[in-house]
Amino acid sequence: MTAHARFIFLLPLLLASGAHADDTTIAVRPNKNSGVTTAAKPTLATPAPAMRQRAPALLEPSLRVAHSGDSRRPRVALTFDACMGKTDDRILSVLVSERIPATIFVTARWLRTNPQAVAILKQNADLFEIENHGQNHVPAVDAPVSIYGIAAAGSSDAVLREVRGGADAINAAGFAAPKWFRGSTARYDASAIRQIRSMGYRIAGYSLNGDGGSLLGAAVAEKKIAAAKDGDVVIAHINQPTHAAGEGVARALLTLKKRGVEFVRLLDTEETGDHDTTRDIVAAVGQ
């Protein structure tokens, strides 16, 4: 068979395989033995439509408050997320009856469906600081990723709507304008952090995860929170009344009070607390 005949015979196979002359790239690599740069074997380049956007680095800012300086009276900031759904009265009733101050991060969704709890928060304004947990409990990440199975905002416009929507709902409910923001999952990318800070918000991290997203057992949650140290910012949930964790959280609050803990809200840390938790984080990750 002549060379021309062989080409005619193989042409349909080449077309069927999708191979084209401009699909190959030549990678250049050093020859370790000789030090001479040689060409690697040709490889098929990835077609542009198949290329995936690189997922952003997800950041989880931490937060502590200034130590009390008194080992007999450690300072702890309790923060609770009210994501959606109902209210855990086991926790709320202890906070009110024991006069324990706390910072509550609320979403617009939770505010709409919990008017009785909202009324209690208003009646005890000396105890509760109300801060922004977003409009619809969407992670404040401006790339299309999923965090713990929750789809992120996906764009800077969507992050803006999430933050602004939460603040508008808080104002409409009659609370003071929020100063802090904590997004769903408490994870962000650097550009979203920059955007949220430019809107005038501080990013509310934490140092002690008290209830594992409300998924821990009662005994474990109680032990973790009861062991809070001087300067800790505790995160837990106040919207899961059917979860066992809430029982442990409520018991731990009583234990902390018996220990002589000084409870503070985030607004109480203006003079002494480390509120500028993301000051260097964007520069550190280079985004």
Q: What is the pLDDT of residues 176-206, one digit of tens each?
A: 999 999 999 999 999 999 999 999 999 999 9
Residue 76 bridge partners (DSSP): 263
Q: How far apart are the first and last CA of the chain?
A: 60
pTM above 0.75, yes or no: yes
Structural domains of the chain sorted by starting position, each given as residue range(s) with its CATH number in brackets: 75-274 (3.20.20.370)
Distance in angstroms (rounded) separating the CA atoms of residues 152 and 159: 9
Q: Residue 286: pLDDT band by 50, 70, 90 thresholds?
A: low
Mean pLDDT within 205-225: 97
Single out the residue of 161, 87, 79, 152 nearest to residue 118, CA to CA. 87
Is 186 within 8 Å of 206 (Cβ atoms)? yes
Q: Cα–Cα distance between 49 and 89 in angstroms, integer?
A: 51
Which residue in 187, 195, 184, 182 sits closest to 155, CA to CA?
195
Q: Tell me: pLDDT of 139 over 80.
A: yes
